[in-house]
Each structure stands twice: as structure tokens, then as C-alpha cells.
Amino acid sequence: MSTISVAGRSLKARPLLPRRIRPARLALHAFLIAAVLLWLFPLLWAVYASLRPVSETIFNGYVSWPKTLNFDNYTTVWTQADLPYFYLNTLVIVVPAVILTLLLASMVAFCCTQFSWKFNLVVLMLFTAGNLLPPQVIIVPLYWIYLHTPIASFGSIDVGRFSFALFSDNGLLYNQYLGIILIHVVFQTGFATFVLSNYMKTITKEITESALVDGANVLRIWWSVILPLCRPALAAMATLLFTFIYNDFFWGLLLLKTGDRRPITSALNDLQGQFFTNNNLLAAGALLAAIPPIIIFIALQKHFVAGLTLGSTKG
């Protein structure tokens, strides 16, 4: 390792010489390439297994050279396990949850950072700490609340097989899109408030003050002055929240009944055993469920990493 820094200095001394490949650098790359291959292996192995027909793996074993590779396992899972339906369940949950979380969290962060009042620190702490609790600590009373809070039923909007109840078709929060969206919003608002308030602290209060002088009300300042300034942070948070909520397993498992309303992650687990009779199908199912977050990650990687580290770098 020490050679790296030494070499770095010597390079500065002879800037005209062509860049030499230094042995330490080479070792570093060799190590990283080996590590990266190791990292990718489980994923690539799943891809390989998913592309092979079951009959072939039964006959030759999983660790064997392929004769045929095709997408049959994917088509089987997609059509027979009702996957599109579960994707839509996830979508119906994730989109409103992300939007509501960002709205609520940005309001709280705005009020706590742009104005000084007695309890703003306490409020921030409550939100932050609430998000840090293991969800299992609150599940027992929460489950009871979900089973005992009466929610009005005003019919539903039906689109094909989907029924979006207004606001609950069983009079409860349990087993409702509304209920699962609500708990995601509440839980993630804590996290989003913390991150957004860190970001908003860097916005000078003079902006809010001069807008107040100009006669704008607080709601207007939040919506048309502060939120546009927070666009990078909001984009980063939206990316992260999408992934967090998409990846949720626990809430979907406990607050939704088996079957019809579960998002793809919990539904996938329900399929284990009964539907996934072989590892090839299992691999195809897992990879299909992994595609949305992977696409989001690849397309919005910058936002993703920014969201995770917001505040530690200069934005």
C-alpha cells in the first residue's frame, strides 16, 4: 500500500513521462475484480438457473453445461403465478406512499428548519427516532389498531380485477391498500423528515423571510419557494423511498391477508413451496421481482447514492 503514495509523488515529479502501471495498482485491480466477480456470482448463478429448462437440470444437475437456454421459466412464472397482478399491487401501494411521504416530510422539515420555535428539535427527534425503532416493537398494538379502527366505506373504483376501496371495503385498515400505504407513509416520514431537514438547513432563512415580507403565506412559501429549491434532495428521496417501500416484506406480510392484495415481495414468499416446485422457477420469480429496483438503481444511481449520503457530501 505504501508504494501507492510514494509512486503518486514520484509521478508528480515527472509529469511528462507516460503513466506507468504500478504493481500496487495492479494488485488492487486484481483484488477488486476478484471481489466483484464473487459479488456478482450469486446473481449470475440465479440468471443461469432461470434460463435452463427443469428437465435438463434434473437430468444433468444444476452444475453442468447448458444444452438449451430459454425464457420459458419466466413465461411460466409471469402467466401462471399472476405476477403482473402483484406488480400492480406494489405499484398501487408504492406510488401514493412515496408522494405522501415526501409531502408530509417536506412540510415538517420546512417548518422545523425555516422557523425557530420551542419544540422543533423535539419534533425532529420524535420523527427520527420513530423511524429507527424495529417495526416489530410496535406490531402488536398496531395490528390491534388495524383490526379495530372503523374506516368508512364509500364504495370503490374498480379497474379490471382491481378494486380500490374508498376507503376500506371491510370497514377496517387491515387488508386494505389504505392501511398499508398509511404505515409506509408514517414510518418513512420519520426518515425523510430527517434527511430533508438536513438539506433544508443549508437554505438560508432569508429566502423565507423575504417571501413573508412580500406577503406570501407559509403554505405558498413551502410549495413554490422551498420545494423547488429542494428538487435534488426530493429526487434522491423519491428514489430511495421507492426502493425501501418496494422492498418491504414485513408490513405486507402482517397487515395484508394472504393473496389478493399483497405486494410482489410478500406474494413471492407465499408462492414458495406451492408454486415454486423447482429452483429454476424460483430463480425466474426472484429475478422478475428484482428487475424494478435494479432498473431504478441503474437509471437513477446518482440520486440513490446521494439520498443515502445526503448531507455528508456537499449535496
**Touching other proteins, residues 32-61 (CB under 8 A):** 32, 35-36, 39-40, 42-43, 45-46, 49, 57, 61
Q: CB of residue 175 vs other proteins: minimum separation in angstroms?
A: 13
46, 283 contact by CB (below 8 A): yes
Query: Are 104 and 189 a contacting pair, CB within 8 Å?
Result: yes
Which stretches does DSSP call E strand in the chain? 153-159, 162-167
| Distance separating alpha carbons of residues 203 and 211, to the nearest angstrom | 14
* Residue list 75-104, contact with other proteins (CB under 8 A): 104
| CA distance linking residue 54 with residue 51, whole number of Å | 9
Minimum separation from the CB atom of position 205 to other proteins (A): 7
Q: Specify the 3-state DSSP secondary structure of 167.
A: strand
Residues 238-297, interacting with other proteins (CB under 8 A):
240, 243-244, 246-247, 249-250, 253-254, 265-266, 268-269, 272, 279, 282-283, 285-287, 289-290, 293-294, 296-297
DSSP string, 83-149: HHHHHHHHHHHHHHHHHHHHHHHHHHHHHHHHS--TTHHHHHHHHHHHHHS-GGGTHHHHHHHHHH-
Q: Give the C-alpha separation, 177 to 161, whole Å.
A: 14
Asked if residues 105 and 241 have their Cβ atoms less than 8 Å apart, the reply is no
Residues 221-240 interacting with other proteins (rule: CB under 8 A): 222, 240
What does the alpha-carbon distance between residue 53 and residue 95 come to, in Å, rounded to a whole number? 36
Q: If we measure between CA atoms, which residue out of 264, 267, 252, 290 comes closest to residue 90?
A: 264
Q: Are 262 and 256 in contact (CB under 8 A)?
A: yes
- Among 178, 201, 225, 232, interactor with other proteins by CB under 8 A: 201
Q: How far is the CB of 231 from other proteins (least distance, A)?
A: 18
Question: C-beta of 260: minimal distance to other proteins in Å?
Answer: 18
- Select 163 or 201, whichever has its Cβ closest to other proteins: 201
* Residue 156 or 232 with smaller CB distance to other proteins: 232
Q: Which is nearer to other proteins, 176 or 189 (CB)?
A: 189
Q: Which is nearer to other proteins, 11 or 159 (CB)?
A: 11
For other proteins, the binding residues in 103-162 under the rule CB under 8 A are 104-105, 107-108, 110-112, 115-117, 121, 123-145
CB of 164 to other proteins, least distance (A): 21
- Measured from the CB of residue 56, what is the shortest distance to other proteins in angstroms? 13
Q: Is 180 in the site for other proteins (CB under 8 A)?
A: no
Question: In angstroms, what is the minimal distance from the CB of 165 to other proteins?
Answer: 20
